[in-house]
Amino acid sequence: MKGIRLLAEHLDISIGTVSRALNGKPDVNEETRRRVLAAAAELGYVANQSGRSLRQGETKVIGLMIESSQEAVENADNFFLGVTSGLQHVFARHKLDLLMLPCPAGEDPCEYLKRMVARRLVDAMIISNTQRMDRRIDLLSRAKIPFAAVGRSRSAGNYPWVDLDFEGVAERAVERLVARGHRRIAITAPSSEVNLGYVFVESYRRTLERYGIPFDPSLVIRVKSSEQGGYQAAHELLQLEDRPTAVILIYELMAIGLYRRLMEAGIRIGRDLAVIGFRDAPRARFLQPSLSCFRMSLYDLGIALGQTLLANMPAYRAFYPDGGHNIIWPLELVPGESDAFEVGASV
Amino acid sequence: MKGIRLLAEHLDISIGTVSRALNGKPDVNEETRRRVLAAAAELGYVANQSGRSLRQGETKVIGLMIESSQEAVENADNFFLGVTSGLQHVFARHKLDLLMLPCPAGEDPCEYLKRMVARRLVDAMIISNTQRMDRRIDLLSRAKIPFAAVGRSRSAGNYPWVDLDFEGVAERAVERLVARGHRRIAITAPSSEVNLGYVFVESYRRTLERYGIPFDPSLVIRVKSSEQGGYQAAHELLQLEDRPTAVILIYELMAIGLYRRLMEAGIRIGRDLAVIGFRDAPRARFLQPSLSCFRMSLYDLGIALGQTLLANMPAYRAFYPDGGHNIIWPLELVPGESDAFEVGASV
DNA sequence: AATGTAGGCGGAAACGTTTTGGGATGTCAA
DNA sequence: TTGACATCCCAAAACGTTTCCGCCTACATT
């Protein structure tokens, strides 16, 4: 004899009453409830999740899908662990547990997600690394599984997401550099087919033109958002005829590769060239000279993300009446030495 | 009507047969099996995990417990994501899924684990960050949940674990430094009450004595294994009267803080002082001068860990007849510039 | 023709839980 | 005394799956 039945027998009451007592339902004498709770604690009883899920059709578990491929691992740089903390803070309030579902390296993310969802292992999902056209979004919508995404995509339908304020970052980075006398400012971005690559560069272009600086396509460097990409970006910068005096990175991690290549070429960062990074990557915090960059609190981002998700789950909606559907997450500039000079100033 | 019942009705056979067909059991006509499989694919049927788990008493899920506290996040530096990949490679063979269970920052790890285990959400667990006396090990042993640990502990009983070869690293680091003329070699380590702190320093001591170099306790610097700790270690090094010419770090990440403090003090790393690191932390890969350090493949470690776990699960034991109970994981020296000089050599 | 055997299938029980409908008891007002 | 009502509890059904047991058919063996 196991589980709730054991407990019921031990107390000499029915299992139904035990269940109601444990779950805080009415219709149970306070004295009885007290006894049940005491006995449960004593015997170390915890409800079997399978039985409960089967009956209720819900698991009280939220899944966070991440990728465990080599490349994703290299680039994530603790991003998810940081967000997780914020998510859990929100979920704890509702006795929800967070599980991370790492998609195996070889498997198609969409298939993996389908498998996980169909197994009814989780009540809701958070997906990340959203692609331009992400089949996972259609999948989840059709399966009617509540979800939230980290990152916008162009997939059809409106769904809840939280994304970083790329436009704002590009705008403020340009403003900052222009204020220091820069006129030729390069920018890195992924392919313009990726939503992010488009948005980031557009904002950069608009801001430049606001200052009457013509947009020069050769200053837009399309590379991967990784250390490797940073190295390559630096390489391409060095090839340019009329070399820029500043460069804006779309991902802080790129700075590592970029620094290396520039140092090889004898360029003094923060003297000959200004660099501004973006997004928090602990790995890049220790560059010398220190990197000026836009950062955010992953914890707070996690909180917003969690609330956005819950606001889209019928059972919890009431708790988050104005739970934003879509959130553009602001970033804060943390000044460093990498852009601490005025163009033309004597050294 | 849902699930297997729907499928059975659609095919006009009983649910029992459908189940047997899907699970590759005998006692089902090959033609029937083919039809069932086809229909399942067409209707997108995937067994409900709750029902299955309830019936079978197993979930086909392995849990990897990690910590999501701020400190753990800072120090982990992608360690788990890396191992995960190897684990999954092993588990995939048995159609086991890996879930990461992040222990919320505030919660007691042992209570969290108890909660998760009691819910019967996973068949087995992998725990990490094992403490000197880890209550989780007793808990899992008593609950008869198969598990494996990353890291030895002094907890009672023999249980499966995989740990890094601290002794070997300390020994080889000393050998390497002595060969380059160093006689005063400092070492960092956590408190000697932590098993690791004891083992690491003991090996260092033995190796020194093998070369006839007396052990000097003042050269053992007890600090946290973090960037912060590295900074502090450098600070303490600078206070020493008879300053050492080399230092061995127990965790690569410490190098970041250490470098910073030493550079502030005008010490030239790789010229005035040799530094050797240990364990793979991507964040430290980009230091200048590059760090000599002992590294390993997280992927391969994950594979070994996975096999060790399965070898201890009755259902899978047969696949891993000589699945090592305990594994001391070797590391490989990747030479860098940080110790590339001979003591006394002219520069 | 009778018997044995194997293959293939259906029926039903079981896993542990929550929930529903209703039954027993007690209290209060008419 | 009776009825109405609230309180507390029990019994049973249901969730979706796997598995045990036994039945049926077809075929081979005597």
Preferred mutation among B5, B7, B43, B49 to probe A, highest tally of A CBs within 10 A: B49
Protein residue closest via CA to C1' of C9: B17
**Contact assignment for A81 to B101 by CB distance below 8 Å:** no
Q: How far is CA A71 from the centre of its chain?
A: 16
A283 pLDDT higher than 90: no
pLDDT in tens, B79-128: 888 899 999 999 999 989 999 999 998 899 998 998 888 888 899 999 98
Cα–Cα dist A101/A67, whole Å: 8
Contact A277, A292 (CB under 8 A): yes
B5 contact to strand C (CB, 7 A limit): no
Range with lowest mean pLDDT among A15-19, B30-34, B92-96, B286-290: B286-290
pLDDT of residue B347: 47
Give the pLDDT of residue A75: 67
pLDDT in tens, A223-280: 988 888 899 999 999 999 899 999 999 988 888 889 989 988 999 999 988 999 887 7
Using the 8-state DSSP alphabet, how is residue B290 labeled?
P
Chain B nearest-CA distance from A170, in A, is 26
Q: How many CB atoms lie within 10 A of CB A27?
A: 8
- Asked whether residue B145 carries a pLDDT value surpassing 70, the answer given is yes
B73, B142, B261: which to substitute to probe chain A, counting the most A Cβ within 10 Å?
B73
| Higher-confidence position of B48 and A345 | B48
The pLDDT of A298-316, averaged and rounded, is 93
Mean pLDDT (chain A, rounded): 89
Is the dihedral angle over the CA atoms B286, B291, B292, B295 positive or is it negative?
A: negative
Whether residues A120 and B73 touch (CB distance < 8 A) is answered with no
Chain B hits for A54, CB-CB cut-off 8 Å, are 48, 50-51, 54
* C-alpha distance from B216 to closest chain A C-alpha (Å): 32
User: Does A66 sit within 8 Å of B115, measured CB to CB?
Assistant: no
Whether B19 sits with its Cβ under 7 A from any strand D atom: the answer reads yes
Query: Would you say the C-beta of A135 is within 7 Å of strand C?
Result: no
Q: If you search the block for the tokens 């790329």, which residue do you land on?
A: A166
Q: Which bases of strand C sit closer than 7 A to a protein CB?
A: 7-12, 14-22
Look over chain B and give the mean of its residue pLDDT values, rounded to a whole number.
89
Chain A residues in contact with B101 by the CB 8 A cut-off are 97, 99-100
pLDDT tens-digit series, residues B230-271: 999 999 999 998 999 999 999 888 888 899 899 889 999 999
Q: Which nucleotide is nearest to B15 (CA to C1')?
A: C10
User: Which domains does chain A possess?
Assistant: 3-47 (1.10.260.40), 61-159+298-329 (3.40.50.2300), 166-295 (3.40.50.2300)
Contacts of B188 (CB under 8 A, 6+ apart): B221, B222, B223, B225, B229, B230, B233, B247, B248, B249, B250, B254
Across B130-158, average pLDDT: 85
Give the Å distances, CA to CA, from A261 to A23, A190, A257, B286: 61, 19, 6, 12
Residues of B in contact with A74 (CB under 8 A): 78, 282
Interchain pair B74, A282: CB under 8 A: yes
Expressed in angstroms, the distance from the first to the final Cα of chain A is 82
DSSP code for A215: P
Q: A119, B49: Cβ pair inside 8 Å?
A: yes
Query: How far apart, in whole angstroms, are the C-alpha atoms of residue A85 and residue A326?
Result: 21
Is B16 a residue whose pLDDT tops 50?
Answer: yes
Q: How many CB atoms lie within 10 A of CB B15?
A: 14
Residues in A touching B297 (Cβ below 8 Å): none
Model pLDDT, residue A346: 52
Asked whether strand C has any atom less than 7 Å from the CB of A29, the reply is no
The distance of B67 to chain A (nearest Cα, Å) reads 9
Q: Does residue A177 register a pLDDT over 80? A: yes
* Strand D–CB B285 distance below 7 A: no
**Residue A295: beta bridge partners?**
A332
Q: Both tokens of residue B337?
A: 């510039």
Sequence-distant (6+) residues with CB within 8 A of B230 are B188, B223, B249, B253, B254, B255, B256, B257, B258, B259, B261
Q: Flag if B54 and A50 touch (Cβ within 8 Å).
A: yes
Can you give the distance from the CA of residue B11 to the C1' of nucleotide D28 in angstroms?
Answer: 32
> Which amino acid residue lies closest to nucleotide C7, measuring CA to C1'?
B27
Partners of A119 on chain B (C-beta within 8 Å) are 46-49
A81 to B92: CB separation less than 8 angstroms, yes or no: no
pLDDT of B278 above 80 = yes
Q: Do A104 and B92 touch (CB under 8 A)?
A: yes
CA nearest to B170, candidates B205, B218, B135, B129 = B205
Q: How far is A103 from chain B (nearest CA, A)?
A: 9
Residue B188: CB atoms within 10 A of its CB come to 29
Query: A274, A278, A308: which is closest to A62 by C-alpha?
Result: A308
Closest-lying nucleotide for B20 based on CA to C1' = D18
Residues facing A126 on adjacent strands: A64, A148
Residue B217: which residues within 8 A CB-CB, separation 6 or more?
Answer: none
**Taking CB atoms and an 8 Å cutoff, what residues of chain A touch B287?**
286
Within its chain, how far is the Cα of B276 from the centroid? 21
CB B29 within 7 Å, strand D: no
